[in-house]
Amino acid sequence: MDWEDLRHFGAFATGGSLSAAARALGVEHATVARRIAALEAAIGLKLVDRRGRRLLLTAEGEHIARIAERMAAETLALGRFADGARLDLTGEIAISAPPAYAARVLASRLAAFQTGHPRLRIRLLGDARFISLDRREADIAIRLTRPTEGDLTIAKLADMTFDLWGSAAYLAATRPPDWRFIGSDGAIGGSPQQRALERWALTETTAFRSDHAEIQLALVKAHAGLAMLPTFMTDGEPNLARARPEDAPLVREVWVAVHSDLRNSAPVRAVMDCLREI
């Protein structure tokens, strides 16, 4: 039996379709189908029911899928253990962070850090969703909510403050009863800053919604309304102003997490030290 066949089948079982498995593995969906057929031939079991328009796991397929999941988890654990023992500052480190924070706060600092460690490659991923450090979707995750699940080593990096911002021209020309608002959507649709905005914004007064803070900022600068924005984005913007300067800002904590298997890795420790200086 070929492990790659089992890995492709496991991706199919996890994703629920050939196309989802193909996207996860970076291959064509025909390759996934061929690998699954090869696995069935090798072990003499029918794993997928191909009747109808949907491909469904058979009872045997569900059992093999659980085995594949455990094997994949152990393979990832082996990789984390090996990487955790690394003593040299080489290889690649993947860092996941909210997109605006990655662009405006992390990028310049990590660029200077990497210049001092040219053999270390960094993948800086802008992502607001929760990613899995167990599945090595990233090595280090920066989030605005303290992670509570998984075997993680966690530290607080900073506080991030949010205020209600608008363009100075918009605020000068628009009375508070006529304010329009720019809300959050997608992964940040249920965020504390969105809930804070809803203290003033009704559905009918929300002119725009966006899942990216950079887009919200662009709309504010285009005089489209008011948005809850972090001050690291509004600092140095002379044409913006707080809409309610008398209100205390919303404060969110910035957390960094790494899988505990990697906490002793020299590259991870070096990057974590760099991040703690923010």
Same domain flag for 243 and 170 = yes
pTM above 0.75, yes or no: no
Interatomic CA distance for residues 269 and 266, integer angstroms: 5
Condensed to tens digits (0 to 9), the pLDDT of residues 102-133 reads 999 999 999 999 999 999 999 999 987 777 78
- CATH code of the domain in which 198 resides: 3.40.190.10
Same domain flag for 217 and 137 = no
Same domain flag for 24 and 143 = no
At residue 122, the pLDDT reads 94
Same domain flag for 179 and 242 = yes
3 state SS of 13: helix
**Mean of all residue pLDDT scores within the chain:** 87
- Give me the amino acid identity at 137: E
Average pLDDT over residues 198-211: 88
Same domain flag for 142 and 269 = yes
Identify which of 49, 29, 53 has the alpha carbon closest to the alpha carbon of residue 40: 49
What CA dihedral angle connects 221, 227, 230 and 232, to 10 degrees? 10
Same domain flag for 72 and 193 = no
Give residue 85's pLDDT band: very low, low, confident or very high (50, 70, 90).
Answer: low
State both tokens at 243.
Answer: 């809409």
- Give me the amino acid identity at 72: A
What residue numbers bound the domain in which 261 lies? 91-156+253-276
Domain count, the chain: 3
**Burial group, residue 99, by CB count within 10 angstroms (0-12, 13-18, 19+):** middle
Interatomic CA distance for residues 180 and 243, integer angstroms: 12
Same domain flag for 25 and 77 = yes
Same domain flag for 164 and 238 = yes
